[in-house]
């Protein structure tokens, strides 16, 4: 690229102009320099625009062109012509027939997405209604109060025996206390997936609280390689509710920490997973409870 140089007549003109603008001379020169550099840029950029349109410039060069395009309408007009060339090149390739399964798969994915979005909206709308349901409180049969008393005794025994030794557990204990102080505490029966089998226990929860207490009995003891894992399910999918083990008598008390208030879930499920837990269930569900 040729550098921009002042010709003789321009130098003379500049000198005489400088004589006139002696006081503001520096500003004048700066203004001229700005124009000169814009002018230089303009001719350089004009040459680069075709390459810019087809992505053939380095990052630095592209940035400089883009900067110039911001201030120069005539370069922008030229650019849009070369954008058209670039677009036409992409249009004119040998046409191929897309296999039908590509569109089918795409539209299936989109439709499933849309259904999920719609049910999310519905769930949001239903949430207020469900809140009302929870506010009605729970009617517990009389035997359930007896059971609750036994349960609390058992719970506090369990607390003393093995559950809360650490600071974290203290925090959990406080949450459980808070849970039990709630007026609208609800007991959800947990049943075995096997219809013939007995109830397995209860999940104690309130709709607003994300902490719940799971109390289970008659569990099959697991070896060291396996744990029970809790899953909480709603319309959007499934979330991990943590893992627990049963004691030698087949009993387990587990504090569940859900990501959201438990009233927002529809179902609790329990699977047997490798020690440490899984990201998603790897075995069929063994126990289930309906939360709504």
Partner 1 sequence: MQSHSAEIDAAVVSDEQLLVQVLARDPAALRQLYERHGSAVYSLAQYILRDAAVAEELTQEIFLTVWNKAEQYQADYARFRTWLLSITRNRAIDQLRRRRRRIQSALSLDDASVAEEFAPLVEPIDSQRELHLLLRHLPPEQRLAIELCYFQGYTHEEIAAHLHIPLGTLKSRILLGLKKLRAMLKDGDAHLP
Q: Which residues of this chain interact with partner 1, rule CB under 8 A?
A: 47, 50-51, 53-56, 80-99, 102-103, 105-107, 109-111, 113-114, 117
Q: Give residue for tokens 């087809």.
A: 54
**Which one, 114 or 236, has the nearer CB to partner 1?**
114
Does the footprint of Zn ion cover residue 72 (CB under 5 A)?
yes
Quick one: how far is CA 70 from the chain centroid? 36
Could you give the strand order of the β-sheet that contains 267-274, starting from the edge strand earlier in sequence?
Answer: 237-244, 226-234, 267-274, 287-290, 186-192, 199-205, 211-216, 252-257
**Which one, 79 or 202, has the nearer CB to partner 1?**
79
Among 261, 258, 281, 259, CA closest to 193: 281
Q: How far is the CB of 38 from partner 1 (least distance, A)?
A: 22
From the list Zn ion, partner 1, none, which binds 55 (C-beta under 5 to 8 Å, kind-based)? partner 1
From the list Zn ion, partner 1, none, which binds 75 (C-beta under 5 to 8 Å, kind-based)? Zn ion
Q: How far is the CB of 67 from Zn ion (least distance, A)?
A: 11
From the list Zn ion, partner 1, none, which binds 72 (C-beta under 5 to 8 Å, kind-based)? Zn ion
From the list Zn ion, partner 1, none, which binds 32 (C-beta under 5 to 8 Å, kind-based)? none
DSSP summary character for residue 65: H
Helices (H), the chain: 8-20, 25-53, 59-71, 73-91, 100-135, 142-158, 167-181
Does the footprint of Zn ion cover residue 32 (CB under 5 A)?
no
Does the footprint of Zn ion cover residue 251 (CB under 5 A)?
no
Looking only at Cα atoms, what is the longest distance across the chain? Answer: 110
Q: Which listed range, 27-35, 69-77, 156-164, 226-234, lies at the site for Zn ion (CB under 5 A)?
A: 69-77
Among 86, 131, 136, 81, CA closest to 264: 131
Does the footprint of Zn ion cover residue 42 (CB under 5 A)?
yes
Residues of this chain that interact with Zn ion (CB under 5 A) are 42, 72, 75
């Amino acid at each position: 690229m040729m550098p921009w140089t002042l010709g003789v007549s321009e130098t003379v003109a500049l000198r005489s102009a400088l004589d006139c603008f002696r006081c503001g001379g520096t500003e004048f020169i700066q203004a001229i320099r700005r124009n000169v550099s814009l002018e230089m840029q303009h001719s350089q950029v004009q040459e680069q625009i075709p390459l810019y349109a087809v992505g053939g410039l380095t990052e630095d060069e592209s940035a400089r062109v883009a900067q110039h395009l911001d201030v120069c309408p005539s370069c922008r007009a030229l650019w849009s012509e070369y954008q058209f060339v670039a677009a036409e090149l992409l249009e004119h390739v040998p046409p191929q027939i897309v296999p039908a399964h590509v569109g089918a798969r795409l539209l299936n994915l989109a439709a499933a997405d849309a259904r999920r979005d719609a049910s999310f909206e519905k769930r949001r709308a239903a949430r207020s209604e469900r809140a009302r349901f929870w506010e009605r409180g729970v009617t517990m049969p009389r035997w359930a109060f007896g059971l609750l008393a036994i349960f609390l005794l058992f719970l506090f025994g369990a607390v003393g025996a093995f559950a809360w030794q650490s600071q974290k557990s203290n925090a959990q204990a406080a949450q459980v206390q808070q849970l039990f102080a709630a007026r609208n505490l609800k007991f959800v029966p947990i049943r075995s997936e096997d219809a013939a089998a007995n109830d397995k226990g209860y999940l104690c929860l309130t709709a607003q609280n994300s902490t719940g207490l799971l109390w289970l009995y008659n569990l099959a003891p697991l070896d060291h390689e396996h744990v029970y894992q809790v899953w909480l399910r709603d319309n959007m999918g499934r979330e991990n509710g943590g893992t627990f083990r049963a004691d030698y008598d087949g009993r387990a008390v587990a504090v569940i920490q859900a990501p959201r208030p438990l009233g927002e879930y529809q179902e609790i499920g329990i699977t047997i997973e490798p020690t440490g837990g899984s990201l998603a269930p790897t075995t069929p569900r063994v126990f289930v409870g309906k939360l709504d």
